[in-house]
Structure 1
Amino acid sequence: MRDRVALRGLRARGHHGVFDFERREGQDFVVDAVLYLDTAPAAASDDVGDTVHYGVLADRLVEIVTGEPVNLIETLAERLAAVCLEEPLVERVELTVHKPSAPIEHEFGDVAVTVVRDRGGAS
């Protein structure tokens, strides 16, 4: 599938991490979602009902990030990818969770986990 809808840089505050202070204080997480779907029907109809409403999807992703804490961003990425695949038109998702304030005692640019999931469960 060559068509993609991308939602990048979605920022929300969550309480994920393995350390008590991460759970207590929280930190910002940044989500990038690339959805693979056929956009031709939406282009032909010019109707948002024929594609993924990225505003609604953003709300759902933020609910996950701000919701139940998990230890690992791998777990968070998996949950977010599952939400994307609940969209009926999405055949595949590439989902990245960035943890820009990860508790690392060295200067770094980013920590991120990317998962690629298909509707059929294969990756």
Structure 2
Amino acid sequence: MSADRIVLRGLRARGRHGVLAAERELGQEFIVDATLFLDTGPAAAGDDLTRTVDYGELAQALVKVVEGEPVELIETLAERLAEVCLGSEIVESVEVSVHKPAAPIPLPFDDVVVTIERSRP
């Protein structure tokens, strides 16, 4: 795995993910962190955006997933987000965290986070 990485942290989007009917109906904010592992050397050598990941485009694609088809589990959402990140062939692996700060927990808490790591097969 390459030591180079691009990190997109704190991307916010509204989605309708969750097990409870109210979560599907009302929706809530989700926060996504994505760390992409890749070799940034070729992009840096040529100062060439086409040889790296455009994090603006990546952010838009990830928000589309969060705002898109609802799933029950944030584990499933994280998997879908990881697939988007691995869509660029230069990305060797990815770590994705999905935060659900408004999860339906009847106790004081700061956040619920699911983090997954996925690599290109």
TM-score, structure 1 length as denominator? 0.96
Q: In 2, Cα distance between the equivalents of 1:113 and 1:87?
A: 23
Shift of 1:88: 1.3
Show the counterpart of 1:27: 28
Code of the aligned partner of 2:50: G
1:81-110 per-position Cα deviation (integer Å, ceiling 9, x unaligned): 011001111000000000010000111111
* Stretches of 4+ aligned residues off by more than 3 angstroms: none
> For 1:93-112, what aligned pairs fall within 5 Å after superposition?
93-112=94-113
Question: Partners in 2 of 1:55 and 1:99 — Cα distance?
Answer: 22
Aligned to 2:65: 64
Once residues 103 and 3 of structure 2 are traced to their aligned partners in structure 1, the CA distance between those partners, rounded to angstroms, is: 34
After superposition, residues 1-123 of structure 1 pair within 5 angstroms as: 1-120=2-121
TM-score, normalising length: structure 2: 0.98
Give the partner amino acid of 2:100. K
Distance 1:80 1:91 in 2: 15
Mapped to 2, the partners of 1:32 and 1:99 lie a distance apart of 12
TM-aligned CA deviation for residue 76 of structure 1: 0.2
Task: For residue 91 of structure 2, give the secondary structure of its aligned residue in structure 1.
Answer: coil
Amino acid in the other structure paired with 1:93: V
User: 1:47, CA displacement in angstroms?
Assistant: 1.2
The 3-state SS of whatever aligns with 2:76 is helix
Task: Report Cα offsets for 1:14-33 as digits up to 9, x if no partner.
Answer: 00000000000000000000
- Cα RMSD, aligned residues only: 0.5
Q: In structure 2, what is the Cα distance between the partners aligned to 1:11 and 1:45?
A: 32
In structure 1, list runs of 5 or more residues that go unmatched. none
For 2:28 and 2:95, the matched residues in 1 are separated by: 23
